[in-house]
């Protein structure tokens, strides 16, 4: 099936910080059946989109990877995105990043220099890149912080975020986490459920997790749990139209407790269950720290 037969092309632009996981993301998209081209300068991205929309094009799904090295060529990624929109297509921008200390560790492990290091420290190169890419980050559809993610975690995050890039739908990702491991930097909204009693201190519940019925029942039966969930679902529902008007169809909600094992997991699952009942909404639930000590 080609895009001109049944559906419009949604070019995926994968970008972000060097060391943030761009190559891994490219492999994930290839596995999902995308034609993936890496390290393209801005002008060639536009040409590739044009070629992919030709009547005889064999490409129905296109993803391109571009990073700060493309600055050496004429044109800018921001201008290219605008030109793609003028052609009548809606590019999906996936931005990957990580904490500075993690990026430094990744560069050290492969003995590479940063493309913007220019004889300075690696930290200076990372800072320059963050500044250079800030305009693209601001318009990204989805931002994924890969700081604490394995390759498998990144695959799950990407699959949850992009779905099938269905038109006319908004996508909400609920991500449980533990505050002791740091809050997710890619979350648009963060909920703190540490006000609920912690099942960890109930001996018969300690070894279970929030996806298990005994813990879920315990957490959701607490007096303050249902009003909190009701209020948040109403609050989020009231903002969806505004988000869509502003072109934001991908929303990530972080739900945190102390370790990310019990309360946040149970609450994220319940919020996800309720949101899934709403029309024109695609909901995914992830548990970042469920198996982490």
Binding residues for GTP: 67-70
Nearest one of 170, 196, 199, 173 to 186, comparing CA atoms: 173
Q: Which residues pair with 190 in a beta bridge?
A: 254
d(CA 98, CA 144): 8
Q: Are 192 and 256 in contact (CB under 8 A)?
A: yes
User: What is the DSSP annotation of 22-66?
Assistant: HHHHHHHHHHTT-EEEES--HHHHHHHHHHHTSTT---SSEEEE-
Q: Which residue numbers belong to the known binding site? A: 67-70
> E strands within the chain?
12-16, 35-38, 62-65, 92-97, 142-145, 170-178, 189-192, 250-257, 281-287
d(CA 28, CA 34): 9
């Amino acid at each position: 099936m080609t895009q001109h037969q049944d559906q419009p092309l949604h070019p995926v632009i994968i970008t972000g910080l060097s060391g943030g996981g761009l190559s891994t993301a490219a492999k994930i998209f290839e596995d999902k059946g995308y034609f993936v081209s890496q390290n393209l300068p801005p002008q060639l991205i536009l040409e590739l989109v044009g070629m992919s929309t030709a009547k005889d094009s064999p490409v129905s799904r296109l993803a391109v990877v571009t990073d700060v090295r493309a600055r050496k060529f004429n044109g800018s990624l921001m201008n290219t995105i605008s030109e793609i929109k003028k052609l009548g297509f809606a590019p999906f921008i996936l931005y990957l990043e990580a904490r500075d200390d993690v990026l430094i560790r990744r560069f050290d492990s492969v003995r590479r220099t940063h493309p913007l290091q220019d004889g300075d420290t690696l930290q200076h190169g990372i800072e320059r890149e963050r500044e250079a890419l800030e305009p693209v980050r601001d318009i990204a559809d989805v931002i994924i912080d890969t700081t604490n993610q394995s390759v498998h975690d990144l695959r799950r995050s990407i699959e949850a975020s992009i779905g099938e890039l269905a038109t006319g739908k908004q996508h909400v990702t609920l991500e449980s986490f533990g505050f002791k491991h740091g809050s997710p930097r890619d979350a648009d909204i963060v909920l703190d459920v540490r006000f609920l009693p912690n099942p960890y201190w109930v001996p018969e519940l300690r070894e279970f997790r929030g996806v298990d019925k005994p813990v879920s029942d315990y957490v959701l039966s607490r007096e303050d749990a249902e009003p909190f969930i009701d209020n948040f679902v109403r609050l989020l529902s009231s903002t969806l139209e505004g988000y869509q008007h502003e072109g934001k169809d991908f929303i990530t909600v972080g739900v945190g407790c102390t370790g990310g094992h019990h309360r946040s997991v149970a609450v994220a699952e319940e919020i996800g269950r309720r949101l899934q009942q709403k029309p024109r909404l695609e909901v995914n639930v992830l548990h970042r720290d469920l198996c982490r000590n």
